[in-house]
Every structure is written in C-alpha cells, then in structure tokens.
Amino acid sequence: MDFQHHASLAVESILAEGRLPIIAGGSNSYIEALVNDDPEFQLRYECCFLWVDVSLRVLHSFVSERVDKMVKAGLVDEAEQMFDPMADYSRGIRRAIGVPELDQYFRAGSILDANIRARMLDTAISKIKENTCTLASRQFHKIRRLYNQRNWRMHRIDATEVFLKRGDEADETWERLVAGPSTMIVDKFLFEKNRVPTILPSTSSSSVPIAAVAAASH
C-alpha cells in the first residue's frame, strides 16, 4: 500500500509537469501491485509494458560474475556492518540476499582457523549466487504469467545477446536490440490511433495514455 500511494503521487507530479511517467523495476511485485491492485490507477492510466528479458542460462552466468565483483567491491564488509547475532532475517533490510548467507561466517569471528574461515566464506558466497539465481528464476516465471495476461499488453525485448558482449560492442548491441526497439514501441503507443501525445490533466475522467511502464524480469 505504501508503494501504491507514493508511486501514484510521483506519477501525478510528473504529469503535472507535462512529462511521461516511467515506472522501472526491479521487483515486478511492486509494479503488479500498482497495476492490478489499485483500481483507481487502472481507471486513470493506460500503460505500455516493456519486458527486458535475458535467457536464464546467460543470466545465471552473469549473476555469478556480478556477485564476485560485488565481493571485491566490499560486499562482505558492508554486510558485516549490519550483522547482529540476535538479528531477525525475516524482516527489513536483513532479508536481502547477501546478509543471511554470511551469518555463520560472521558468527565464527576470528576463533577458527583461517583456512576454515576461508572455506566458510566461499560457501556463503556460493549460497548468495544460488539464492540470487533462484530469485531470478521465480521472477521469470512470474513475469511470464503477467505476459500471458491480456490486460497487461506486454512487449518482450530479448537482451540476451547484450550480455554476451563486452565494452563498446555491448553498448552497440544494447542500442540495436533493446533501446531502439523499445523507443519505437513507446512512440507507437503514444501516437497511434490518433492519440493525443500531450499529457492530459490529472483531473480528467478519461484514461490517460501516457504511463509507460518498464517491467524488468531480472
């Protein structure tokens, strides 16, 4: 409910400035709650959904590399700052992947042999990767379900090839396969069928066809 309230206020503020609201995820649970569970939002806005997808096989490989980079950038130290031996890992920020997996490692402190602690850290990092991949899989199946719902009218953009490239080649591939097609989809949504491209006043009783929602599955 908090997200629905604050997101609706943000949309209103953007509309008041004559601009196009774009809601980007992230967690598609929030976007689903806003679109499916907020009757007023459904009545007032017409949305264009973009699903930027990546094959799970490629995504899981990317997740592993990303976790390694996060560890090098200080993930363990950051998580240790939140460590509390009495922590409840079912609530708040401590639910985040990367915190509960390191609990046993932090509890061991410096009382164990360095080699044992190193193995515990490796195990925790492997668990972080495993849980992140599991989360990505759940999100994929959930957004696939939304994709099959007619009222969402979602456009799937396959970004798999982008994740297989590096450097400038990846940037060029992103522009060609993701940014370019996405721009064309949104342009068509805004201007087709004699739609008025300007923003209608938020007090209008008619549907406002301007909320382009970018729903990312991963």
CATH code at position 113: 1.10.287.890
- Give yes or no: residues 200 and 182 share one domain: yes
- Name the pTM for this structure: 0.73
- pLDDT > 70? residue 214: no
Contact 199, 34 (CB under 8 A): no
What confidence tier does 193 reach under pLDDT thresholds 50, 70, 90? low
- pLDDT > 90? residue 70: yes
- Give yes or no: residues 196 and 181 share one domain: yes
- Give yes or no: residues 187 and 158 share one domain: yes
- Give yes or no: residues 77 and 110 share one domain: yes
Q: Last residue of some domain: 79, 108, 137?
A: 137
Q: Last residue of some domain: 78, 111, 137?
A: 137
Which carries the bigger pLDDT value, residue 212 or residue 87? Answer: 87
Residue 32 lies in a domain: yes
Predicted local distance difference test score (pLDDT) of residue 199: 37
17-43 pLDDT per residue, tens: 988 888 886 677 888 888 888 888 888
- Give yes or no: residues 113 and 160 share one domain: no
Mean pLDDT of 56-83: 91
What confidence tier does 2 reach under pLDDT thresholds 50, 70, 90? confident
The DSSP bridge partners found for residue 23 are 213
Predicted local distance difference test score (pLDDT) of residue 36: 84
- Give yes or no: residues 47 and 65 share one domain: no
Mean pLDDT of 182-192: 86
- Give yes or no: residues 127 and 167 share one domain: no
Predicted local distance difference test score (pLDDT) of residue 26: 65
- Give yes or no: residues 103 and 118 share one domain: yes
As a whole number of angstroms, the distance between CA 91 and CA 78 comes to: 18
Predicted local distance difference test score (pLDDT) of residue 218: 37
Identify the residue whose tokens are 């907020």: 38
154-168 pLDDT per residue, tens: 889 999 999 999 889
Q: Last residue of some domain: 87, 108, 137?
A: 137
- Residues with Cβ within 8 Å of 213's Cβ and at least 6 positions away in sequence, in order, are 22, 23, 24, 31, 35, 47, 48, 49, 50
How many folded domains does the chain comprise?
2
Residue 146 lies in a domain: no
- Per the prediction, the chain carries an average pLDDT of 81
In which domain, by residue range, is 65 found?
58-137
What confidence tier does 81 reach under pLDDT thresholds 50, 70, 90? confident
- Give yes or no: residues 156 and 48 share one domain: yes
Residue 144 lies in a domain: no
- Give yes or no: residues 129 and 186 share one domain: no
- Give yes or no: residues 120 and 65 share one domain: yes
Residue 36 lies in a domain: yes
- pLDDT > 80? residue 91: no
Residue 147 lies in a domain: no
Identify the residue whose tokens are 């992230």: 26
Predicted local distance difference test score (pLDDT) of residue 109: 78
Predicted local distance difference test score (pLDDT) of residue 209: 37
